[in-house]
Structure 1
Amino acid sequence: MAGRRHAAAEAADEDGPAQQGVRRKAVHLMVALRLTSAIAGAVVALMAVDSVARPGWTLGCVAVLLVWAAIFTAVLLRRGPLTRVLVVDVVVVAGLCLSQSWVAPAQVLRASAGTGWVDIVVSSGVFLVQFGSRQPFGLGVAVVVAFVYMVGAPGPREAPVVLVVQGLLAAVLAGLLRREARGADRELAERSRAVADAAARAAARADERDQQRRLHDTVLATLTMVGTGAVPSGSAALPRRAASDLRVIDGLRSRGGAAPRAVRLDVALRALVPALRPGLPELRVVVDVPPCELPGEAAEAITLSAQEALTNVARHSGATEARVGYWRTAPAGVGIEIADEGAGFDVAAVPPQRRGLQESIRGRMRAAGGGAEIVSRPGSGTRVRMWWPDGGG
């Protein structure tokens, strides 16, 4: 169980849907921060361009900032938060920090807290790098930018401390989001694995039940007939029955792959007539089924169920003839009826542990997505009706 959870965790950590969703949202947030901060900073810078030391530098920095914001947006929306793009963004932010004394008004430089247009751009740069990179790179960038800010605007100021605090808070928020996304992906991976395991177990149980049905129809039926004396141990029919049973067992062992996509049901049912089990009383079978095709699994289920029904007719009914009839069910299914005028029996009186009717006919048809019913009364013959895909009429 621990290994299974570890595998699920590794699969989730690689690139789960929750992490992909967080990454997409982070890209949108980073783009929005860079665009809005660049536009807002440019507007503020142009409004105060007459009060700066070097207006030409200010106009140049604004132009570079706007061009870079457009490139940043295009690259992130197309390819995601690449490390080299984030590095260039940090370089642009650091350049603005170093040029503050030339591009920011003097009254802003004298303020204790960062209130200028450069502060708007720098704060967004520190914030967005926490969502676009792993730690400790993001926090390292925040510290470096704060230091460069102090170099560009020396003196006692609160802005560098604010930048570090902003970086720390953004790093914590981004880390929490990533951790929750990884946890969600692990849970999804474990649930998917549990569903797959349950489906595999269900398939194994279905295959086991199918093998049990086939063994009941062949080997167990032969042993029962030998045990009850219906087939004497020295009978010439016994080797033929044993050889037929061995072929069935060999088929169970070598069976693999998907069932044929389409099977002629009428041909398969007519093939049952000469294939009735050796050692059974002679039974004349009249097959009245027009040409029709079904999916391989459905045709196989109907054919094997019909074979079990005809075997029961030969073994128990005392009838010398059975009829295989046909009807069409909506929208594209078929119904098959095995009818005889033999002794009949009380269906309700059949013990539940008897697997012939319960599993080899009803269970097999249910497993294929269809259904079956047995109608019989003592002295009135028997009708075994099977249908696929739905509806008994």
Structure 2
Amino acid sequence: MRVRASRLLLAGVRGSSDSDRSTRYLISSALVEKVVGRCLAAYCLIFGGLAIPDAFVGQPLMNQVWAWIAGVALFGSLAATVVTGVLEWHPRIAAASFSVVYLAILVTWQLAASDPSAVASGAPWPSPLSTIAFAAASFAFRQAGALVYMGSVYVVYIIVRQTPAGGGAPLLQSLAEAGYGVIIGLVVLLLITMFRRAAASVDSAHGAATGRYAKTVRDHRTEMERIQVDSILHDSVLTTFLTAARSHTPEERVLAVAMAKHALAEVASAGPMPETLDDLVPLNGLRRRFTETCAELGIRATFTAEGLQNYSVPGSVVEALFSAVMQALTNSIQHAGPGDVKRHVHIRWAHAVLTVTTTDDGVGFDVDHMTPNRLGVRVSIIERVHNVGGHAEIASQPGHGTTVTMTWPRAEGD
């Protein structure tokens, strides 16, 4: 498996980021508005279409100017609610427009009849659209506004229904007819309110989680920058001073001068960490980088590689392993003893695991008695590799050389 899977880096931080980018939340405010808007559009299309025949049946008995103005305004706003709900283009504005037009038609219903004193044969033809108006108001207005709207329509309808133009219905019949629409409207309002509150809670939780994640990333970047500065100070500056102080042979003096130049270059180029911690870097360049840096510092070592073609790992991993290997080579020069010490670095990628092994055949040392202040081993090798999700192990015995093995990612339990 290629190292696109290497985004396991920083499983606690980066893993949550990847899942956040790929997770689509089941409930959110935007999703609720979209679903309710489209449901309202379907409701308007179906029941609004059923009301068209009633409008034409009642039209000959009405004031024609008012009838055409009311019909165009009512069905025009109804069509706008359907279109905007489907296209998600300001559907709440269209729904609010339909609600206002419907209430205005009820208020001016006395103007509808050509003879206001004549008793109509039935309820006003827009009556079946009251449930659509209540649903549109529940979607378009806040809860308090929708309740005020329903109460206003309820009162106006009762008054109009008892007039001759409204059919002259008894009070109890008017109350019953108006109450049916209000009950449906209240149910719709309750459902929309519940979904909106649930979505708001999810949005709030998601915002808080995003904020915590952003803080975690910032804290991690700050820690990585601190480690970078510590690494430069120890690996480059402090190590250069120690190497210069211990230089007795011409070879050691040449190395000290080269390390001083390299340390100055590193200090000058040190800057903030990259924006993304998991930018992938091809493994093919790692061996070349080792070779060029060792040639620059005058470190004699051989390098071999295995299975690196077409694989990449996060840049932070490359930086950590590179610095750790260079520290291991520097430690070897300082502590492996005099003579022709052979040093070798082997880089291997197999089974989604990167292994870098540094060996020398120097004098070695007793690992069990390694002092805690050995920063070159504890901080610059072990801790550095561990911070990027890897594992470093030191194996050495007096008279048998030293082997430093670094693996990434580390196995469970390391």
- The residue that corresponds to 2:246 in the other structure is 230
Work out whether 1:373 is the aligned partner of 2:393: yes
CA deviation digits over 1:137-191, x for unaligned, max 9?
5445435434543553235342557767776776566455444433432221111
* Distance (Å, rounded) in 2 between the aligned partners of 1:123 and 1:36: 12
1:194 shift after superposition: 0.7
Which runs of 5 or more structure 1 residues have no equivalent in the other structure? Answer: 1-16, 110-115, 278-282
* Distance (Å, rounded) in 2 between the aligned partners of 1:101 and 1:361: 93
* Distance (Å, rounded) in 1 between the aligned partners of 2:323 and 2:354: 15
Normalising by structure 2, we get a TM-score of: 0.66
* Distance (Å, rounded) in 2 between the aligned partners of 1:291 and 1:163: 73
- The residue that corresponds to 1:75 in the other structure is 84
8 Å contact from structure 1 (residues 374, 382) kept in 2? yes
Identity %: 23
CA separation of 1:177/1:327 partners in 2, compared to 1, >3 Å: closer, same or farther?
closer
Matches within 5 A, 1:101-112: none
1:198 shift after superposition: 0.8
1:20 shift after superposition: 0.9
* Distance (Å, rounded) in 2 between the aligned partners of 1:354 and 1:363: 12
1:370 shift after superposition: 4.6
CA separation of 1:178/1:291 partners in 2, compared to 1, >3 Å: closer, same or farther?
closer
- The residue that corresponds to 1:357 in the other structure is 377
After alignment, is 80-89 or 20-29 more displaced?
80-89
- The residue that corresponds to 2:301 in the other structure is 285
* Distance (Å, rounded) in 2 between the aligned partners of 1:145 and 1:243: 85
- The residue that corresponds to 2:140 in the other structure is 132
Matches within 5 A, 1:18-167: 18-38=28-48, 41=51, 45=54, 54=61, 69-78=78-87, 79-92=89-102, 94-95=104-105, 98=109, 118-134=126-142, 137-146=145-154, 148-150=156-158, 152-154=160-162, 156=171, 157-158=174-175, 159=177
CA deviation digits over 1:123-148, x for unaligned, max 9?
33123212122466544543543454
Work out whether 1:330 is the aligned partner of 2:339: no
8 Å contact from structure 2 (residues 327, 380) kept in 1? yes
How many pairs align?
355
After alignment, is 144-153 or 205-214 more displaced?
144-153
- The residue that corresponds to 2:216 in the other structure is 198
1:316 shift after superposition: 1.1
Matches within 5 A, 1:163-312: 174-175=192-193, 177-222=195-240, 230=246, 240=257, 244-253=262-271, 261-262=281-282, 264-276=285-297, 284-288=300-304, 297-312=316-331
1:24 shift after superposition: 1.7
1:220 shift after superposition: 3.0
Secondary structure, aligned partner of 1:190? helix
CA separation of 1:164/1:265 partners in 2, compared to 1, >3 Å: closer, same or farther?
closer
Normalising by structure 1, we get a TM-score of: 0.69
Quote the RMSD (CA, aligned, Å). 4.7
* Distance (Å, rounded) in 2 between the aligned partners of 1:290 and 1:163: 77
1:248 shift after superposition: 3.3
* Distance (Å, rounded) in 1 between the aligned partners of 2:142 and 2:29: 14
- The residue that corresponds to 1:9 in the other structure is none
* Distance (Å, rounded) in 2 between the aligned partners of 1:244 and 1:222: 9
Secondary structure, aligned partner of 2:342? strand
Secondary structure, aligned partner of 2:365? coil
- Return the letter of the residue paired with 1:250: A
